[in-house]
Structure 1
Amino acid sequence: MASKRSDAKQNRAHLLAVARAMAKDGEVPSFNELAKKAEVGVGTVYRHFADQQALLAGLVEEQLEDFRVLIEHAVANEDVNAAFEELFRGAVELVVHRPLVARVLAGSKDEFRAMETKAEAVVTRAKKAKVIRPDVGVSDFKRLVCGIELAARMGPRPGEAARRYVEIVLAGIRL
Structure 2
Amino acid sequence: MSSRPRADAARNRDKILTAARGAFASGDGSVSFDALARRAGVGVATLYRNFPNRQALVEAIYHSELDDLVTLADTLLAAEPADVALRHWMDHYAVFVATKHGMAEAFQQAVATGSIGAGETRERIRTVVGDFLSHGAAAGTLRGDIDPDDATTALLGAVLGALSSGADARQRERVLDIVVGGLRPGSA
TM-score interval, normalised by the smaller of the two chains: 0.5 to 0.7
Q: Which residue is equivalent to 1:22? A: 23
Distance 1:42 1:86, change over 3 A: same
**2-structure distance, mates of 1:6, 1:126:** 40
**2-structure distance, mates of 1:42, 1:150:** 33
**Where in structure 1 are there 5+ consecutive unaligned residues?**
78-82
**2-structure distance, mates of 1:87, 1:51:** 30
| 143-152 vs 8-17, which moves further | 143-152
Aligned-partner residue type, residue 143 of structure 2: I
- Equivalences, count: 154
Distance 1:90 1:15, change over 3 A: same
Q: Which residue is equivalent to 1:138? A: 148
Q: Which residue is equivalent to 1:69? A: 75
Matched, 1:157 2:155: no
Any residues of structure 2 matched to 1:7-156 within 5 Å, and which? Answer: 7-24=8-25, 29=29, 33-34=32-33, 37-38=36-37, 39-40=44-45, 42-45=48-51, 52-58=58-64, 65-73=71-79, 77=81, 83=82, 85-96=83-94, 98-99=95-96, 107=118, 109=120, 113=124, 117=127, 119-124=129-134, 131-132=142-143, 134=145, 136-153=146-163, 154-156=165-167
Q: TM-score, normalised by structure 2?
A: 0.54
How many angstroms does 1:20 deviate by? 2.3
**2-structure distance, mates of 1:149, 1:45:** 30
Identity across matched positions, percent: 17
**2-structure distance, mates of 1:116, 1:70:** 16
Q: Contact 1:92 / 1:162 at 8 angstroms: preserved in 2? A: no
Q: TM-score, normalised by structure 1?
A: 0.57
Please tell me the root mean square deviation across aligned C-alpha atoms, in Å.
Answer: 4.4
**Where in structure 2 are there 5+ consecutive unaligned residues?**
38-43, 101-116
How many angstroms does 1:130 deviate by? 10
Q: Contact 1:56 / 1:100 at 8 angstroms: preserved in 2? A: no
Q: Contact 2:158 / 2:175 at 8 angstroms: preserved in 1? A: yes
For residue 25 of structure 2, give the secondary structure of its aligned residue in structure 1.
coil
How many angstroms does 1:5 deviate by? 0.7
Distance 1:43 1:109, change over 3 A: farther
| 7-16 vs 62-71, which moves further | 62-71
Q: Contact 1:119 / 1:138 at 8 angstroms: preserved in 2? A: yes
Aligned-partner residue type, residue 138 of structure 1: P
Distance 1:100 1:122, change over 3 A: closer
How many angstroms does 1:19 deviate by? 0.6
For residue 155 of structure 1, give the secondary structure of its aligned residue in structure 2.
coil
Aligned-partner residue type, residue 96 of structure 2: P
